[in-house]
Amino acid sequence: MTKYLAKIGLEMHCEVSETKTKVFSAARNEYSGSPNTNVRPLDMGFPGTLPVVNKEAVRLALMASIILNCKQPKYIYFERKNYYYPDMPKNFQITQETKPIPVGIYGEVTYECDDELKKVRVNNIHLEEDAASLDHFYDTSNIDYNRAGVPLLELVTEPDIHSAKEAVAFLEHMRSVYQYAGISEADSKKGQIRCDVNVSLMDASLDETDPNNWGTRAEIKNINSFGGVRDAINYEIERQTEILENGDEVLQETRRWDEESGTTIRMRSKVDAIDYKYFVEPNIPKYKVTKEWLDEIKASIPELAWNRKQKYINEYGLSSYDAGVLVKEKDISDYFEECVKLGIDVKQAANWVSVNIIGELNKEDILIKDFYLTPEMLKQIIDAVNKGILSSKQAKEVFNKAILEKKEPKNFISKDNAQISDKGELTKIVVEILDNNQEQIVQYKGGRDNIFDYFVGQVMKMTRGKANPVLTKEILHDELDKR
């Protein structure tokens, strides 16, 4: 049996959500409202309308290009990709082909997969407009033009990815780049990320850097979740392996991922590929990209997840694993940084955020921005722990109560509940109890070890459970030894 190496190339589409308006019209850059309420004549392809390039969208696209170590163009051009489809009322999409250069070509991305660093070459990254969205029902389809013209970045990788796991790690890395750089929320639940996945198998004993050794690829279109990408790749590797094992040939074709059956389904052969008749968009003059502008954009790139992770490891002394958990989502990392800014001990903050808070977000399936407990409120709990007012068990209870009742933790923290951790105070209580239990002391000294627990119980009873248990036992041992 031949051993196969999977070659996977991704075309990752991510909407640029952080501009005010669409990429070529003045409509707001959002489409969550009622259908067809956020549409300008240009978005509908009305005759006589002209596109106006959104400079902020180009700036963010160039920022992505710089982060991906791509080569940037001297001029920005746009091109028409001509086709007819109801989600594309102009009958063409304004996009960028690789010639002339789009916002970036020939880059390289380093990402982590299972604690190993991997590299993927970027073929190109380009800026285009999103299409409208279609909702298909049993015998009718509804169309919503709100999404038409939302800025979209398409990133095309070389087939340097070798497994579903690597593909997902790469996509997670890119999501984090887009979020940290302030380019996009990159939320696949909102449909902001969609991928085409290209998969082929080659003989693993051959040199993978030589494209002549690559196998025939299948392209799976328009997968809208990372789980879908993972499953589609695994399915496709299995399907192609079977074909090759039977001595047959993999066909070059376009397939689609069918979530329900968990399979990919043939759409069309790649041989009769559509000719889009690309040409330079005549209504958008070419636009000079100056070195000054690029320098300015470069200087404005915010701290990315990778840098934050290094900071957490080197300055805060967190483990690589813990740091990784904290930086995975920018909003969570921001929350953690806010805690540190408020003066919460770094390790305590890291622990509370990565265990209790992330646990709660996962359990409730909510985002941290919708989470009731603010860093200030978390501080109330942690301060109370550090002052010995709350035991760690009580702290967790206060945490749960605060989020359940949506009331600040301080309402549930009172000095009356304070744990007694004062050695002098506890010693007094222990001595009093021992004085009143002479008979039990004799039994204990006579070898009945379990009487010790009886004494602990007496201390707890007297303090209504507030005695620090570790300290109580320590004092009991000392005082019993003296008798």
Task: Tell me the C-alpha distance between 142 and 135, whole Å.
Answer: 5
Site string for ligand ADP, 9-38 (x = CB under 6 A): xxx---------------------------
- Min separation Cβ 193 and ligand ADP, Å: 16
Closest-CB residue for ligand ADP?
9
- Min separation Cβ 216 and ligand ADP, Å: 7
Please name the residue that has the structure tokens 């770094």.
Answer: 346
159 in contact with ligand ADP (CB under 6 A):
yes
- Min separation Cβ 345 and ligand ADP, Å: 46
Nearer to ligand ADP, 8 or 426 (CB): 8
Residue 175 falls in which region: left (phi positive, over 0), alpha (psi -120 to 50) or beta: alpha
Span of 48-56, 139-147, 153-161, 425-433 interacting with ligand ADP by CB under 6 A:
153-161
Span of 61-69, 155-163, 333-341, 394-402 interacting with ligand ADP by CB under 6 A:
155-163
96 in contact with ligand ADP (CB under 6 A):
no
Of the candidates 443, 410, 428, the one whose C-alpha atom is nearest the C-alpha of residue 475 is 428
- Min separation Cβ 196 and ligand ADP, Å: 7
Positive or negative, the Cα torsion across 46, 49, 53, 54?
negative
- Min separation Cβ 221 and ligand ADP, Å: 10
Question: Do the Cβ atoms of 192 and 246 come closer than 8 Å?
Answer: no
Question: Do the Cβ atoms of 202 and 208 come closer than 8 Å?
Answer: yes
- Residue 426 φ/ψ, nearest 5 degrees: -70, -35
Determine which residue in the list 30, 56, 87, 158 makes contact with ligand ADP, applying CB under 6 A. 158
- Min separation Cβ 7 and ligand ADP, Å: 4
Residues 173-212 that bind ligand ADP (CB under 6 A): 198-200
Beta bridge partners of 8: 161, 199
Question: Do the Cβ atoms of 126 and 96 come closer than 8 Å?
Answer: yes
- For 142, what's the count of Cα atoms within 13 Å in the CB-facing half-sphere? 8
- Min separation Cβ 6 and ligand ADP, Å: 8
Task: Tell me the C-alpha distance between 423 and 406, whole Å.
Answer: 36
Beta strands 151-157; 4-15: pairing state: antiparallel
Task: Tell me the C-alpha distance between 16 and 153, whole Å.
Answer: 7
- Residue 346 φ/ψ, nearest 5 degrees: -55, -45
Site string for ligand ADP, 212-251 (x = CB under 6 A): --x--x-x--------------------------------
> For the chain, percent helix, then strand, then coil, each to nearest 5?
40, 20, 35
Site string for ligand ADP, 396-415 (x = CB under 6 A): --------------------
Q: How many residues of this chain interact with ligand ADP, rule: CB under 6 A?
A: 15
7 in contact with ligand ADP (CB under 6 A):
yes
161 in contact with ligand ADP (CB under 6 A):
no
Span of 59-67, 151-159, 231-239, 353-361 interacting with ligand ADP by CB under 6 A:
151-159
- Tally of CB atoms within 10 A around 324: 17
311: helix, strand or coil = helix
Span of 5-13, 257-265, 290-298, 470-478 interacting with ligand ADP by CB under 6 A:
5-13
Determine which residue in the list 157, 184, 354, 472 makes contact with ligand ADP, applying CB under 6 A. 157
Task: Tell me the C-alpha distance between 163 and 288, whole Å.
Answer: 40
Nearer to ligand ADP, 70 or 382 (CB): 70
Q: Which tokens go with 74?
A: 């001297």
Nearer to ligand ADP, 45 or 100 (CB): 100
Binding site for ligand ADP (CB under 6 A): 7-11, 156-159, 198-200, 214, 217, 219
